[in-house]
Structure 1
Amino acid sequence: MAITAKTITDDEFFFGHKACAGCGGSLVLRQALKVLGPHAVAALPAGCMSAVGFNFPQLCFANNAMITPFAATAAVLSGIEAGLRAQGAKPDDCTVVGFAGDGGTADIGLQALSGAIDRNDDILYICYDNEAYMNTGIQKSSLTPFGAKTTTTPAGRNAHGCLTEKKNLFEIVAAHGIPYAATASIGYLNDFIRKVEVAKSMKGTRFIHVIAPCPTGWGCGVDETIDIAKEVVDCGLWYLAEYRGPAVSDVAGGFFKLSRNPREFAEGDAWGSVEHYLRRQARFRALSDEEIESVIQGRNATWEHLRSIAR
């Protein structure tokens, strides 16, 4: 029987951490480890979850877990998996899993992730995306969206936050021909749990990119994390999808599948309000009406592209 939010185990494998109230990243780790189980071996680079999860003398992981160099998450995962396999100590239910933020994945860690995918090492890599380097003071990453205020992309009368668009990491990973990649949101928990379960059942390199709001960096209430994580999907600025590479699909080059496909734009209430999503967060308050309209146009173009490639 597939695991859901109602049937998931009550056992806790990530608890007692020191994360900020409302932390989306901590929810990603908590739920993923519940699916992966007690035999999963975790590795985390410098970032929020290693900072709040490894506080001497308290380790917040019930699983075996270790901190990696910032740029080396995927490389360390590859080494752990190879070592366990060489010792004959890697049962089928032992997933080697990495949890890294957006900066540690899309920027400084991308080369190691690309290499692991190229080798098709038997690892699962989960990126919890809070859209900035939150642990070191809210600096811009390449996954910071247009218009977001960070300490390195200030916003005010003469500057309107981040001037670049969010990197399309999901399609970059898929372009490697990876066996399995997915996007998720902690606002749609059953979808995220299902994708972790699918990844657990597979071999080779698997990747899940999950949006994980950060109230501290986003400027929203600590009780709004789940609601905002749903709203970013509902307004179309984040999509839920899966990719299966050519090795595990019957389609040359692999295929994309949308997990949630809103109706056509012309049907009026198909989308939630992009403006409402942006305006409720302090990081976007400097955006003008014209800039918000450009965000909406970018969303529409993204969905036209998605519908053209999705199966």
Structure 2
Amino acid sequence: MPANAKTISDDELFYGHKACAGCGGSLAVRAALKVLGPNAVCALPAGCMSAVGFNFPQLCFANNAMITPFAATASVLSGIAAGLEAQGKSPAEYPVVGFAGDGGTADIGLQALSGAIDRNDDILYICYDNEAYMNTGIQKSSLTPFGASTTTTPAGRNVHGCATQKKNLFEIVAAHDIPYAATASIGYLPDYLAKVEKAASIRGTKFIQVIAPCPTGWGTAVDATVDIAKEMVDCGLWPLLEYEGSAVSGQPAGRLTVSRCPRQFSSVEHYVRSQGRFKALTDEEVAGVQQFRDNLWQRLEARL
């Protein structure tokens, strides 16, 4: 049966952690493990979830989990998968999953991820995207959006936060013709659960990039995390997508689909103005963010 609020397991496999109140990353990990089950073997690099989940003498994972070198999440996942295969353990019964932040994925971990996809190792890689290096003090990553103030892209008189656009990691991964890739948001939890479940049923390398707001780094209330994650989708700045590679879809160039297409976008300005990290943006710069949204969807429509 599809995983949803009624069918999902009551077992908690990630609990007692020390994450900040309202942490989106912890919600992404908790929900995914409920789908994957107690036999899932996890690997996490240095980052928020390893920092809050491995506090000696407490381990907040009820299943097997380990910390990897920062750049090596996908490589360690490949090694775990090979070890389980050598023991005769089925990847369907013992899924191998990695949870890494945006910096550990799109920046320092991209080479290892690309290699795993090239080998088509039977692993699931989940990037909980909070749009900065939050664990080490809110530094810019290549997934930090334009205008976001971080400690390395502070909002000043001349430059109002991050001067670059968010890297399109999903398209980079899909360009490998990966068997399965998806974007998700903890604001639309049933969609995220369904994609984790679907990924677990596909053999080969799978990748999910899930938006997971950080109240500390985003400058939002701790009880607004899910609403902000939902609004990012509704205003069009985060399309919910799926890519099925040629080996899965049977199509030479793979298949790209939109999981949720808003009939009418909500206000980009409201989304931006509700977060402290964007407080320095001018009206003209906010209009530029909206234009970025429009261009993004025009490019998507041309590909569908």
Contact 2:70–2:104 (Cα < 8 Å) also in 1: yes
| Equivalence for 1:226 | 226
Q: Which moved more, 1:87-96 or 1:110-119?
A: 87-96
Q: What does residue 275 of structure 2 align with?
A: 281
Query: Residue 117 of structure 2 contacts residue 176 of structure 2 at CA under 8 Å; is this kept in 1?
Result: yes
Shift of 1:253: 1.2
- Does structure 1 conserve the Cα–Cα contact (< 8 Å) formed by 2:92 and 2:200? no
CA contact (8 A) 2:81 2:91 kept: no
Normalised to the residue count of structure 1, the TM-score between the two structures is: 0.97
Q: Which residue pairs with 2:25 in the alignment?
A: 25
After superposition, give the CA deviation of every residue in 1:82-103 in whole Å (9 maximum; x if it has no partner): 0110121345221000000000
CA distance in 2, matches of 1:218, 1:262: 24
Aligned: 1:71 with 2:71: yes
Match of 1:302 in 2: 296
Q: Which residue of 2 aligns with 1:87?
A: 87
Change beyond 3 A, Cα 1:91–1:247:
closer
- Partner of 2:5 in structure 1? 5
Distance 2:6 2:19 in 1: 25
Please list, as runs of the form range in 1=range in 2, the aligned pairs for 1:93-242 lying within 5 A after superposition. Answer: 93-242=93-242
CA distance in 2, matches of 1:217, 1:261: 28
Tell me, yes or no, if the aligned pair for 2:187 and 2:226 is still in contact at 8 Å.
yes
What do residues 91-147 of structure 1 show as CA deviations (whole Å, max 9, x unaligned)?
A: 522100000000000000000000000000000000000000000000000000000
RMSD of the alignment, in Å?
0.8
> Per-residue displacement from partner, 1:12-35 (whole Å, max 9, x unpaired)?
000000000000000000000000
One-letter code aligned to 1:274: V
> What is the number of residues matched between the two proteins?
304
Unaligned runs of 5+ in 2: none
TM-score by length of 2: 0.99
**Cα distance in 2 between the residues matched to 1:108 and 1:161:** 22
Answer yes or no: is the 8 Å Cα contact 2:91–2:122 preserved in 1. Answer: no
For the 8 Å contact 1:5–1:189, the answer to whether it is kept is no
Tell me the distance in 2 between the aligned counterparts of 1:203 and 1:138.
36
Find the aligned partners of 1:92 and 1:244 in 2 and give their Cα distance: 19
Q: Distance in 2 between matches of 1:21 and 1:261?
A: 31
Between the aligned partners of 1:92 and 1:192, the Cα distance in structure 2 is 19
Post-superposition shift, 1:7? 1.9
Rounded Cα–Cα distance in structure 2 between residues aligned with 1:158 and 1:305: 31
Q: In the aligned structure 2, how far is the partner of 1:6 from the partner of 1:158?
A: 51
Aligned-pair identity in percent equals 75
Q: In 2 relative to 1, CA 262–59 (structure 1 residues): closer, same or farther, beyond 3 Å?
A: same
- Unaligned segments of structure 1, at least 5 residues: 264-269
User: How much does 1:5 deviate?
Assistant: 2.1
Runs of 4 or more off by more than 2 Å in structure 1? Answer: 89-92, 156-159
Is contact 1:235–1:274 with CA below 8 Å preserved after alignment?
Answer: yes
Distance 1:252 1:101, change over 3 A: same
**Which secondary structure does the structure 2 equivalent of 1:247 belong to?**
helix
